Chains A and B, each alone.
Chain A
Amino acid sequence: MITQLANLGARSIFFIEEVGRVAYFGGQILVAAAKRPIRARRFVDEVFRLGVLSLIIICVCGLAVGAVLGLQGYNTLERFGATDSLGTVVGLSLIRELGPVLTALLTTGRAGSATTAEIGTMAATEQLDGLRMMSINPIHYVVMPKAFAMVFVMPLLSALFIVCGIAGGYLVGVFWGIDPGSYMTGLESAVTFQDDILGSFLKSLIFGILVGLISTYRGYSSEPTSAGVSAATTTTVVEASVVILIFDYFITALWGV
């Protein structure tokens, strides 16, 4: 019993230390961001790479999720004779919840893990030390553009996911014979900019910060061995996924998004 308590205590301390280290790392990224040069070129390259990595998976999954929502929604609404509201149901679930969350989870698995693996490999092959020896700060040159790119692409990918999802729901709905016009007008009249769109954007922005921070931190602090890099990659996926879902709950509870 005592040892279990001690264990718990040790784990909590380790957890808090780890959170502190991640926060400090985030601080270093912000400090680096204030320095010249601004690395615009590297940032654009990273945005492009992350986009290329994630584009197809986001579109396909968005369509599939939208189609499922359409099917489930149609079956449920039919019981109340309210199939005209299908657009509202599909749209609001995607915008407020599924779009940001699923995009963040997918991006974590695809681009977040790639980011960790890449930075970890650079550490293991002494490329980061090589930069240091050339008086180039690796956080400034490598980490910062990757982290900011992740923050930047997340809302865009989420928007893309939502659009694809709405299209998927539309296809299913129309196939089952609901009026195409009412799908869209229902959607339009139900969605408000302030609550839904802005809230959705905010959510995915926060998820972008989380995934960007965790994936770069895990890569940067990984053991400089191939086993270390692969462990760090797994950790990124697990940690980021859990953190995304926990934050999702609190954002929804606190801001009602």
Chain B
Amino acid sequence: MTDNGAEPSDHLRLDQVSMKFGQRTVFENLSFSLPPGEISVIIGGSGSGKSTVLRLIGGLVSPQSGRIVVEGQDISLAGNDVLETARNKIGMLFQGGALLDSLTVFENLALPLREHTDLDDESIATEVHDRLDAVGLSGIDDLLPNQLSGGMRKRVALARAIIRKPSILLCDEPFSGLDPISTRKVEALLVDINRRRGITIVVVSHHVASTMRMASQIVVLLPDGLVVGSPQELQNHNDPRVKAFLTADRDQPSEMVEEVEVLPSGRRT
């Protein structure tokens, strides 16, 4: 059971997961599995629980009931030790980057290596620069996060998320707040990371155009459940709400999208 993904569906799976914050039910009995080595995109209105799904997979919040299987291991009720091991396989790109603002770019990337490996300074520098290269950045070692533009910050955060060579990468709205060019850049990076490193990528996004381009599977979170399918399947789906998402203005979350929103919008959207 705890062996590495014997079943492909055990790679990353939610099983009858119910999640509440206090009185507010975010979702009930949610089940889906995400294919290994592919890019999956989770879409849904704001407050529909997209970020919560990622936080559940990362073990940052625990569900009221249900199982969350990461690489064959149920982490829904796991203690700290199990979580730490599970997180070694997971990289997470937070919406705002979540870089430590008191550390330089270099130190931000070096931190996980210093904490969890015995690498000497030289090897750490090599690794850090390798990852910065991978996201198309160089010469910014000594800058602080607040000296970076939004797009650069996202890319540095992305570099940090993959520095421990995770097998799963979770990205919370990687395109939010980016101009179209940065959006294309980050999208290309995600596709590149997926192809080259074979990492399973789960993206939460409002961005319909890039979703249709890069997703091999789309999960649509609706107030009363969810719809899963490939981009082609969903485009011809007969639920009008799914259509509304996928035919919405291709570069903007449209009014149609907002209409789907039923839950009161959350603090983090």
**Which residues from chain A sit less than 8 Å from chain B, CB to CB?**
122, 125-127, 129-137, 224-225
Question: By the criterion CB–CB under 8 Å, are B84 and A135 in contact?
Answer: yes
Instruction: Return 10 A-B CB contacts under 8 Å, by A number.
Output: A125-B96, A127-B100, A131-B100, A132-B60, A132-B87, A134-B87, A134-B111, A134-B164, A224-B267, A225-B267
Chain B interface category by residue count: 20 to 34
> How far apart are the CA atoms of A131 and B90 in the complex, in Å?
12
Q: Which residues of B contact A133 (CB under 8 A)?
A: 58, 60, 87, 90-92
Question: By the criterion CB–CB under 8 Å, are A126 and B96 in contact?
Answer: yes
Name the distance in Å between B149's Cβ and chain A's nearest Cβ. Answer: 17
Q: Does B115 contact A (CB under 8 A)?
A: yes
Name the distance in Å between B214's Cβ and chain A's nearest Cβ. Answer: 22
Question: By the criterion CB–CB under 8 Å, are A130 and B100 in contact?
Answer: yes
Pick from A126, A131, A224: contact of B95, CB below 8 A: A126
> How far apart are the CA atoms of A122 and B145 in the complex, in Å?
13
Name the distance in Å between A111's Cβ and chain B's nearest Cβ. Answer: 16
Q: Kindly report which residue of chain B lies nearest to residue A136, judged by CB atoms.
A: B115
> How far apart are the CA atoms of A128 and B111 in the complex, in Å?
14
> How far apart are the CA atoms of A177 and B91 in the complex, in Å?
72
Q: Does B98 contact A (CB under 8 A)?
A: yes
> How far apart are the CA atoms of A131 and B111 in the complex, in Å?
10
Q: Does B94 contact A (CB under 8 A)?
A: yes
> How far apart are the CA atoms of A122 and B100 in the complex, in Å?
8
Question: By the criterion CB–CB under 8 Å, are A127 and B98 in contact?
Answer: yes
Name the distance in Å between B105's Cβ and chain A's nearest Cβ. Answer: 14
Question: By the criterion CB–CB under 8 Å, are B92 and A135 in contact?
Answer: no
Q: Does B213 contact A (CB under 8 A)?
A: no
Q: Which residues of A contact B55 (CB under 8 A)?
A: 129
Q: Kindly report which residue of chain A lies nearest to residue B91, judged by CB atoms.
A: A133
Q: Which residues of A contact B160 (CB under 8 A)?
A: 134
Q: Which residues of B contact A122 (CB under 8 A)?
A: 100
Q: Kindly report which residue of chain B lies nearest to residue A228, judged by CB atoms.
A: B267
Most buried by B among A129, A130, A134, A136: A134
Name the distance in Å between A97's Cβ and chain B's nearest Cβ. Answer: 37
Q: Kindly report which residue of chain B lies nearest to residue A130, judged by CB atoms.
A: B98
> How far apart are the CA atoms of A136 and B98 in the complex, in Å?
14
Name the distance in Å between B208's Cβ and chain A's nearest Cβ. Answer: 25
Q: Which residues of A contact B99 (CB under 8 A)?
A: 127, 130
Pick from A125, A135, A225: contact of B98, CB below 8 A: A125
Q: Interface readout for B145-157 with A: 1 if CB under 8 Å, 0 if not? A: 0000000000000
Pick from A129, A136, A137, A224: contact of B112, CB below 8 A: A136
